[in-house]
Structure 1
């Protein structure tokens, strides 16, 4: 090595040595970190959203964490999330790599695709079927499924409401995406939903398992420490592949028999005709599987929260019922045209979304370049985590945020005029593309249940009321 080259290298290292402390001083605040491993020791593996919200009271709504060389910023307020993830969306619309999800077969899912050509192609498929206007065109299907749900619930044994909520959430998706209505508990789509969502919700903290941090662990044998989630992902990838393939196989068989209900998959297969390549087919499979897994799981989880809060708050249940009786009457069930005339039913739906966001940490974004925000440096490649649970507990926006209180949205003097919780659907270019469809499905279900049924707690053999315990699992949706 020449003397001039040596001097140049020393000069560069010296500049970096001098510049790094200055650069580090601009980073957002965060807890004290350990040498080498950063915050890995103190970041919890469970209840992360709640812990991050607690830390935000000390460090603010832009909090910096680092673990094994990976930089993370946790966003704790809706205002900041809008500014960074929406207004500056060009810099924050990509995803980090999700090694475990890739191993489970979700690499080509819209949820995890990097922002670019393939992402835009998949999103277009969603928008063609699940935009605001397009979702309204599916209104009759959702109304039919809600009526079937009420009929099933009226005959259900104690504790079976969860089962029928699951069936409702699955059938909504299968009818629209595959043209298949869930007619029995033996339906293959129900089994697929169980297998796939179980794997999703037991695959560890999203993007934050050891194989996500150290991808080389995926190449080691299952007995090696730290490989559990990689082994788990490989074992469950067969169910993802089965969902991909069965969705198209089922619809093709229905089309051959001339007995097909209009659906996303049937329309896309018709558009392809006979001149298609395997990539086109994989796009359809990926879009269908993503809608199925994401839509079924989150709708079911939200409906389960609704059952819980109605048991705990019979006074709100009764008020909504009386509102429906006074506006709609007793001779028919609520229809979408009644929605604007049923403000308290709307408040219950919106408060269910706020009180327990079923995707409490959203799906992380990633910064493409260095960015300055309010004097703080967000480095290129930072994993951006929107703490949606924390936003739902923002005392600057919501009074007594831990309480389930639908009246908070009503205008004064009856309520407080607080805003609906828009953060539940995500942010910017990665906002949930199925939000209009999910919102309609939930409204139909809740309105029909509140019109016809009374949701009561179970009782023991002595007639004592057994109130449910409020406990939520960890997972992408919970």
Structure 2
């Protein structure tokens, strides 16, 4: 009996891949040794051929990089399996390269796991720099400028009331209520759909998408991204974990982009579609006398899907971080509630018209963004040409990581940076430090998050409404001892607190009545 052809093919692949990898690494190593150029940025000592593979962190990379930056500086170089990696650990370096030299640093590396396998090939965040990237950015920016997002305030307002109503009624499920709030806002904007119940299918869809984003690995940094050939190997082969996960969960991304799109198309045909981003874009194309092409459909699904999945997940994770911060620093809640009571009183809830008279609430929002950015290392950029910065050589094709978390922990900028302290942003005349707001949370240059103004507004009204209506305290164990949750964050594309418990109670019976009344009147 002969050996099965499949077995021969598999054995051949298993023996050939290491050989090809060795040849590739050797050639890259020899080329680097013989090429004359300015010095590379400093970094930890590397091994021949494999570079920094053995010492590269697999968890909390942003914290490890920040510690290394204290020794090697705010621009560091790493080489992993032949790939050049530059880590930027200061606002200055990130601004000078990713913004002032954005023409050289707006590209993306290959994201095999998230695009080819998981199904985000129509997500502008992963596009290489070029025509399609600019097209999607233009579509999103048409509705997400600082001036444009003001028209979404009624949507954010009513959903903030439903958020605290849910927290009052079922506080143990606070993560669900936060997810529902964030999902409701972006669903209404992107697709015109208002979530009215806890079992709404789009809440489930977003939870599935969030699972993929929390478990798909660091974009562009998995073994499959380094060696795309691994996507064709069996799941038991070393280095293929994320490829297997992506294939198994691709359906979640397909569902998140297709189901709401088809629903809006059906509603438009029936004449029942509510105003939304997707409806407006479809009508704009139809109004020009053109039929929707396959590219148009992919573009509309992709841009609306980015609003839905990206906007909801980042806002939800930021609000969970806010609750975690209150448990670590209860004095923050006391000060926030004092401002609300002094300015707003107890007979109504805060609105966006109160923004300018609630400076501490704004400081809390800014501190949430600084204290633990939702994307600690952002999404990698790629150098499009060789460059020299401060006399250091940055090679074409290098992956550029902007360490937003490291920038937030810069002791030269922030006093006690690990402490959650909104006062740091207040003027010195008001007892603050006048420290600068972190600009790293939403990325840099041409890749800055287009939905940042919407996200900040959603966070502000949620924080203000929670200060006005509920108390957030530590949960207690069966012996009545308070439980202080650990500061542990799960990291994928976004970073959010690991599941923790807390106690959320209404501030008063009057607060319950006002919330119920506003939910009813705003719904009408």
- Which band: TM-score by shorter chain? over 0.9
Q: Does 1:141 align with 2:155?
A: yes
1:161 to 165, 174, 179: 174
1:436 to 435, 444, 453: 453
Q: Deviation of residue 141 (structure 1)? A: 0.7
Q: Does 1:46 align with 2:59?
A: yes
2:347 to 328, 331, 340: 331
1:11-51 deviations in whole A, cap 9, x for unaligned? Answer: xx9xx97983642x510001111111101111011110010
Equivalence for 1:121? 135
User: Relative to 1, partners in 2 of residues 1:441 and 1:18: Cα closer, same or farther, differing over 3 Å?
Assistant: closer
SS in 2 for 1:469: coil
1:476 to 469, 485, 493: 493
CA distance in 1, matches of 2:248, 2:462: 35
CA distance in 2, matches of 1:259, 1:376: 59
Q: Deviation of residue 354 (structure 1)? A: 0.7
Which sections of structure 2, spanning at least 5 residues, go unmatched? 1-26, 496-524
Equivalence for 2:146? 132
Equivalence for 2:424? 408
1:84 to 87, 91, 97: 97
CA distance in 1, matches of 2:32, 2:473: 66
Q: Deviation of residue 305 (structure 1)? A: 0.4
Q: Deviation of residue 130 (structure 1)? A: 1.1
Q: Deviation of residue 379 (structure 1)? A: 0.6
Equivalence for 1:188? 201
Q: How does 1:252-271 map to 2 (within 5 A)?
A: 252-271=265-284
Equivalence for 1:426? 443
Work out whether residues 56 and 76 of structure 1, in 8 Å CA contact, stay in contact via their aligned partners in 2.
yes
Q: How does 1:243-258 map to 2 (within 5 A)?
A: 243-258=256-271
Higher mean C-alpha deviation, range 273-282 or range 194-203: 273-282
CA distance in 2, matches of 1:138, 1:244: 22
Equivalence for 1:301? 317
Q: Deviation of residue 430 (structure 1)? A: 0.3
Equivalence for 1:208? 221
SS in 1 for 2:280: helix
Higher mean C-alpha deviation, range 206-215 or range 81-90: 206-215
Q: Deviation of residue 221 (structure 1)? A: 2.4
1:328-374 deviations in whole A, cap 9, x for unaligned? Answer: 22221111121111111111111111111111000110111111100
CA distance in 2, matches of 1:41, 1:154: 49
Equivalence for 1:352? 368
Q: Deviation of residue 121 (structure 1)? A: 0.7
Equivalence for 1:453? 470
Higher mean C-alpha deviation, range 124-133 or range 432-441: 124-133
CA distance in 2, matches of 1:454, 1:383: 44
2:409 to 366, 369, 393: 393
Q: Deviation of residue 259 (structure 1)? A: 2.6
Which sections of structure 1, spanning at least 5 residues, go unmatched? 1-12
1:368-422 deviations in whole A, cap 9, x for unaligned? Answer: 1111100000011110000000000000100110111111111114111001111
Equivalence for 1:3? none
SS in 1 for 2:40: coil
Higher mean C-alpha deviation, range 459-468 or range 274-283: 459-468
SS in 2 for 1:332: coil
CA distance in 2, matches of 1:266, 1:277: 16
Q: Deviation of residue 197 (structure 1)? A: 1.3
SS in 2 for 1:160: helix
Q: How does 1:234-245 map to 2 (within 5 A)?
A: 234-245=247-258
2:106 to 72, 93, 105: 93
Work out whether residues 45 and 205 of structure 1, in 8 Å CA contact, stay in contact via their aligned partners in 2.
no
SS in 1 for 2:428: coil
Equivalence for 1:276? 292
CA distance in 2, matches of 1:373, 1:469: 40
Work out whether residues 247 and 288 of structure 1, in 8 Å CA contact, stay in contact via their aligned partners in 2.
no
User: Relative to 1, partners in 2 of residues 1:329 and 1:42: Cα closer, same or farther, differing over 3 Å?
Assistant: same
CA distance in 1, matches of 2:460, 2:219: 29
Q: Deviation of residue 204 (structure 1)? A: 1.3
CA distance in 2, matches of 1:153, 1:369: 51
CA distance in 1, matches of 2:313, 2:31: 49
User: Relative to 1, partners in 2 of residues 1:154 and 1:371: Cα closer, same or farther, differing over 3 Å?
Assistant: same
Equivalence for 2:240? 227
Q: Deviation of residue 256 (structure 1)? A: 3.0
Q: Deviation of residue 224 (structure 1)? A: 2.4
SS in 1 for 2:181: helix
